[in-house]
Amino acid sequence: MNTSPIDRITTSQATIFLINFILGAGILTLPRSITEKVKTPDGWISVIIGGIIIMIMAIVILKLCQRYPDDTFFQFNKKILGKWIGFILSIIIVIYYITLSAYEVRTMSETIRLFALQGTPTWAIMMPFLWIGLYLVLGGINPMARLLEIIFPITVLFFLLVMFLGIELFEIDNLRPILGNGIKPVLKGLTTSSLSYAGFEILLFIFMFMKEKQKVLKVPVLGVVVPFIFYTITIVIIVGSFSIKGVVSETWPVFSFIRSYEIKGLLFERFDSLLLVIWIMQLFSTFAISYFIAVLGLNQLFAKSTHPFIYTVLPIIYIVAMIPKNLNDVFTMSNIIGNFALYTFFIMPLILLIVSIVKERIHEKI
């Protein structure tokens, strides 16, 4: 795993990093979770408002990173907060990313077991992904960036294809009336919609590797805009096809939607397997990036070779991934991770930016 300054990624690669990391598993369950919260057809409005808020926060993170262009969060937070506070905060973030990577690999396992390999032990499904992730992280950030460049267009093409092929199920009346109960339900859904954008903070860790570090505003903008276009299309089509009651009764509403139609005469008549394949790639991307960040953090905290950390973190990820006993526990784990990410990465970058500016001005006066 090469983390030297030679190991660089382009602006477009950084944007794809951000998009892939945000998408993750959230899109598969977002229509149900946000509809349960809003209890009206207006969840798509919450997603748009949440996306705008997250975009602003991503720009704040960008401005913070531009003040320390050659450091990651694990390095510059010590300069801002002091050695010991920065060290403790960094360890907490490393634990978070280990837990997130464990959640992603467990979600991959549960999804595959439910829709393709019924009866297969969870550990048997997880093991190949864990070892492939190990191999990818050993290569460093460049192989990961190239893999994401392959996965992203495939995801966009096939996801939009399978969503719009079922457009005949869509009924506009299921989305009416817009704001029928006012703005209050939409505001209730902001927390849930914001959770679906968890991952916007990745700029804190990959900015150091970017070749161009000044005119890179498109990274946080496009990195958030593309997911919220995906999320909005998904919620509009799923709620418009199933209605509110139909959506909240489904554990995986997106898969249920794709299973509910057939296109005769094509190479594929059913498209749920196709969606499963592309979304496994998406989940793997999030797992691999989280794994990479956790190892990067340990490497920069302890200034040791990365290889021991790569091999040490992998069994920890496996142990954490096996903690949930069933699918409900996995969803609970998701909520805990999402809430931690939302509040931590909403508040922390802003505080760090303010403290950094204040310290700089005090130093200039002295």
Q: Nearest to residue 13, comparing CAs of 296, 291, 207?
A: 207
Structural contact between residues 218 and 20, judged by C-beta atoms closer than 8 angstroms = no
Residue with the larger pLDDT of the pair 191 and 294: 294
Cβ neighbours of residue 156 under 8 Å, at least 6 residues apart? none
Q: Which residue has the higher pLDDT, 358 or 366?
A: 358
Return the DSSP state at 207. Answer: G
> Does any domain span residue 70?
yes
**% of the chain surpassing 90 pLDDT:** 15
Q: Which two tokens stand for residue 17?
A: 């990093």
For residue 194, what are its two tokens?
Answer: 């914001």
Distance CA 102, CA 125 (A): 13
Domain range enclosing 302: 11-354
pLDDT at 2: 45
pLDDT digits (tens, 9 = 90+) for 71-102: 888 989 888 888 899 899 999 999 999 999 99
Q: What are phi and psi of 72, to 5 degrees?
A: -95, 175
Contact 255/115 with Cβ under 8 angstroms?
yes
Of the candidate ranges 34-48, 145-159, 224-238, 269-283, the one whose mean pLDDT is the lowest: 269-283
pLDDT tens-digit map of 133-142: 999 998 888 8
Residue 321 has pLDDT above 90, yes or no: yes
Name the amino acid, one letter, at 360: E
Q: Which residues pair with 210 in a beta bridge?
A: 9
Characterize 306-320 residue by residue with b for buried, 16 or more Cβ atoms within 10 angstroms of its Cβ, and e for exposed: beebbeebbeebbeb
Q: Which of 13, 4, 81, 30 is nearest to 234 (CA)?
A: 30
Tokens at 66, concatenated: 């531009």
Specify the 3-state DSSP secondary structure of 210.
strand
CATH number, domain of 100, equals 1.20.1740.10
Residue 364 belongs to some domain of the structure = no
In a domain, 3, yes or no: no
Asked whether residue 100 is assigned to any structural domain, the reply reads: yes
For residue 272, is pLDDT > 80? Answer: no
Question: Are the beta carbons of 202 and 57 closer than 8 angstroms?
Answer: no
**Number of structural domains in the chain:** 1
Q: Which residue has tokens 């130093």?
A: 363
- Measured CA to CA, the distance from residue 144 to residue 147 in angstroms comes to 5
- Higher pLDDT pick, 180 / 108: 108
288: tokens are 């691999």
Whether residue 35 is contained in a domain is answered as yes
44 lies in some domain: yes
Angle CA(322)–CA(327)–CA(328) in degrees, nearest 5?
110
Residue 271 inside a domain? The answer is yes
User: With contact defined as beta carbons under 8 Å apart, do 87 and 247 qualify?
Assistant: no
Residue 78 domain-assigned?
yes
- pLDDT for residue 115: 74
The percent of residues above 70 in pLDDT, for the chain, comes to 95
Q: Are 128 and 136 in contact (CB under 8 A)?
A: no
- Chain length of the chain: 366
Question: Over the chain, what is the mean pLDDT?
Answer: 84
Q: Note the pLDDT of residue 269.
A: 57
Q: What is the DSSP string of 145-187?
A: HHHHHHHHHHHHHHHHHHHHTTGGG--GGGGPSTTTT-SHHHH
| Other beta carbons less than 10 A from residue 118's beta carbon | 8
Mean pLDDT of 59-80: 89
pLDDT at residue 5, as a whole number = 47
